[in-house]
């Protein structure tokens, strides 16, 4: 009566050799592996990458490359399509050509005398508000610190009066609280006044305009993006056109382009 299973080891030739098995497993794993985001391309290439959106799915745009070492060509491509081609028909465009086209359009659209004058006004207001906000925060923090230390001293006095603590037990900590409160008061008294902000008449409009243009054309992509960040909210990429949404006006501007599309 056999009421259990018994495994009897046996030796027989393998159906496939070990090398073939390992190669099959490697291919199987690679087929299901999600593509990795290449942050290196996104960091050093693609001035408008953080502003661009796919006109079909609305998703973000990443940077990819094609070609070979020494002759790489970088492309903007829809992130949704890059991860799943069935999810979006998206498109790709050459980074260098689209960046230059958009910069040319921005210069003609933004760097007009009227817009530059408004940018100067906005910059002066921002400087004024930033200086005042920083001082207000510093003053509020110090006043709150003083109030907290005063409350701590009052609590110690109540504890001594009720016999919960002895005077000699709180003398040292009370001295520290008083010193910290005096230090906070001294810092309050020494807070500087806001630095004077230049008036509109003090700003050279042509020099201001040229500074913006040079920042856009800088070789440092971080400088370029900071300059664009105050002016551009997003840019939607479609076949044959790019629509730019500005931070300084309500109506977007659509620019046609003949930028060659990259590989799908």
User: In the prediction, which pLDDT does 32 show?
Assistant: 54
Q: Count of CB atoms within 10 A of residue 50's CB? A: 14
Give yes or no for a contact between 78 and 97, defined as CB atoms under 8 angstroms apart: no
Q: In terms of pLDDT, which residue wins out, 178 or 126?
A: 178
Range of the domain at 172: 115-189
Give the Cα separation of 224 and 107 in Å (integer): 13
Report residue 119 CA to chain centroid gap. Answer: 22
Average pLDDT (195-218) is 80
pLDDT tens-digit profile of 104-141?
A: 888 888 888 888 888 888 888 877 777 677 788 888 89
Instruction: Quickly state the pLDDT bin for 9 (edges 50, 70, 90).
Output: low
Domain count, the chain: 1
> Comparing 16-30, 102-116, 235-249, which segment has the lowest mean pLDDT?
16-30
Residue 210 lies in a domain: no
Strand partners, 73: 66
pLDDT, tens digit (0-9, with 9 covering 90-100), for 207-220: 888 888 888 877 78
User: In this model, does residue 179 exceed pLDDT 60?
Assistant: yes
Instruction: Please give the pLDDT value at position 37.
Output: 47
Question: What pLDDT, on the 0 to 100 scale, is given for residue 86?
Answer: 83
Q: What percent of the chain has pLDDT over 70?
A: 81
Long-range pairs of 244-253 with CB within 8 A, sequence gap ≥ 24: 244/102, 244/105, 244/106, 244/109, 246/110, 248/110, 248/115, 248/118, 248/119, 248/122, 253/105, 253/109
4-13, 95-104, 249-258, range with the lowest pLDDT:
4-13
Q: Is the pLDDT of residue 14 over 70?
A: no
Three-state secondary structure call for residue 61: strand
Which SS3 state, helix, strand or coil, does residue 63 take? strand
pLDDT in tens, 57-76: 989 998 988 888 888 888 88
Q: Is 140 a member of any domain?
A: yes
Average pLDDT, the chain: 79
CA distances from 203 to 129, 218, 253 (A): 18, 22, 28
**Residue 109, domain member (yes or no):** no
Q: Give the residue-averaged pLDDT of 173-196.
A: 85
State the pTM of this model: 0.54
Any domain includes 135? yes
> Does residue 55 form part of some domain?
no
Bigger pLDDT: 44 vs 196:
196
Read off the pLDDT of each residue in 45-67 and give the average, rounded to a whole number: 88
Judged against a pLDDT cut of 80, whether residue 1 lies above it is answered with no
Does 239 map to a domain? Answer: no
pLDDT at 156 over 80: yes
Query: Between residues 40 and 207, which one has the greater pLDDT?
Result: 207
Share of the chain above pLDDT 90, in %: 8
Residue 248 in any domain: the answer is: no
The answer to whether residue 49 is domain-embedded is no
Q: Which residue has the higher pLDDT, 162 or 129?
A: 162
């Amino acid at each position: 009566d056999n009421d259990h299973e018994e495994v009897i080891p046996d030796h027989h030739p393998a159906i496939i050799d070990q090398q073939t098995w390992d190669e099959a497993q490697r291919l199987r794993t690679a087929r299901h592996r999600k593509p990795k985001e290449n942050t290196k391309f996104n960091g050093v290439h693609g001035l408008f990458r953080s502003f661009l959106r796919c006109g079909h799915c609305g998703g973000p745009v990443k940077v990819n490359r094609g070609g070979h070492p020494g002759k790489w060509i970088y492309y903007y491509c829809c992130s949704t399509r890059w991860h799943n081609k069935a999810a979006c028909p998206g498109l790709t465009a050459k980074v260098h050509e689209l960046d230059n086209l958009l910069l040319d359009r921005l210069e003609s659209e933004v760097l007009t005398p009227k817009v530059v004058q408004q940018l100067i006004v906005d910059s002066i207001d921002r400087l004024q508000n930033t200086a005042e906000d920083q001082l207000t925060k510093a003053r509020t923090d110090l006043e709150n610190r003083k109030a907290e230390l005063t409350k701590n001293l009052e609590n110690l006095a109540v504890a001594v009066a009720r016999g919960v603590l002895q005077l000699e037990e709180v003398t040292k900590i009370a001295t520290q609280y008083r010193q910290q409160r005096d230090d906070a008061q001294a810092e309050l008294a020494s807070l500087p006044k806001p630095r004077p902000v230049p008036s509109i008449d003090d700003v050279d409009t042509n020099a201001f305009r040229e500074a913006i243009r040079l920042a856009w054309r800088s070789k440092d992509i971080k400088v370029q993006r900071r300059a664009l960040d105050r002016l551009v909210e997003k840019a939607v990429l479609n076949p044959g056109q790019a629509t730019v949404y500005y931070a300084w006006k309500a109506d977007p501007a659509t620019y046609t382009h003949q930028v060659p599309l990259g590989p799908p």
